[in-house]
Structure 1
């Protein structure tokens, strides 16, 4: 039983999600856990999102800010600067939580005070909130440690909508990198490098999958960003781990980009990488 109920700040960045923003906000307001500070920041939406948020604000007590479009990392950092909670959680405006999400994670922190971040599994839903899949990690019980290596090599998937972090972490390592388009992976690596991260096998949130046709330009930008993030660790981690992460990113790049000329900037085949059957197959299929 939890003796104390610390304040939890929830940051909801919104951008053109008029179809989903109401469900997202209400999933926070309807949590079983009541000590929640909700901060909703619209990042230059040009649909009806702001009108919907304002109507909800008339009914419920939460903080709302509207700004020109500055990007997701800027919004998250603005929310972090305002947050009064002892713990911080994030929820995209097209996703939503199950009612026990916050309560379950506060209970986790109380039972495992050595952890400073926790995340969970999540359902994948479609436009109508129908379950179509799941982010499924298998965490060790009773001590569910998730390491830097687990996150860097993709052994554990961290759905951002399931994450809760102690505020002291951000005060120590700083906010999200506003120069990156994959701000979450960069942040989880930075946290894992210095703090204990835990994972729970419960499904506590629902990730919305829609508009699945990602443009080639976006895939190219994501590839560039992943390797930029990797570059941050070149002189901070051992060379063997660095090479394994690089191999995995190269596999992902070849899978997503096919025979795109951009690959020649990032594909660096070595004998060790070629020992991986998937790497070898993709290399000979696309690189030439």
Structure 2
């Protein structure tokens, strides 16, 4: 195992769908990449319901490619667990796949969805991420080889969309805000890699503000710390997770 004072510099954003990381934590991933961290972005699904006109297989192929293109902007790697939209569940087979994914990547820092979010796929991924973060480094937790330096990682929950829970209550309990002002254009570039989603959101959500929605949330969190743009996170500090605030230590946030 690696000491918590000198962990592997490997960060994993494990979220539900392609473009979730780009919406909620890509600015922080960009800043970590600038510090020399190895970055992985993984999704539970390939976004196979993200089209009003294409078949599941057609849009999934496009969205996997968009996810890989977005990750390439920061020199990262994209992975997909290959569950399906609207059908992500915390069950034994899916839990096994996610633990194995964590086992291969061996992250010391993990980002995922909050416990309560507007879509149940997100909430199920929260549970899967917690399970894998806790268990992947246990020697008998997976049949895959244990990477040297595997550990229970620092675990952070991203903001929900618009900073509200599913019942429109504002989430104000985050533990750290990361200033992303200097990387906001590159974050926008990553989000723009998901071109297929503009038309889908216009058709299904009635919105045509893909990047502006992301920037509005960033500006709201930035105002809290006196910057133009920020991303907010809530750290999981339950036993036996690391207790220090690694993001604050690394990025000097308020």
- Shared fold (TM-score, shorter chain, > 0.5): no
Q: TM-score, normalising length from structure 2?
A: 0.35
More strand, by proportion = 1
Q: TM-score, normalising length from structure 1?
A: 0.32
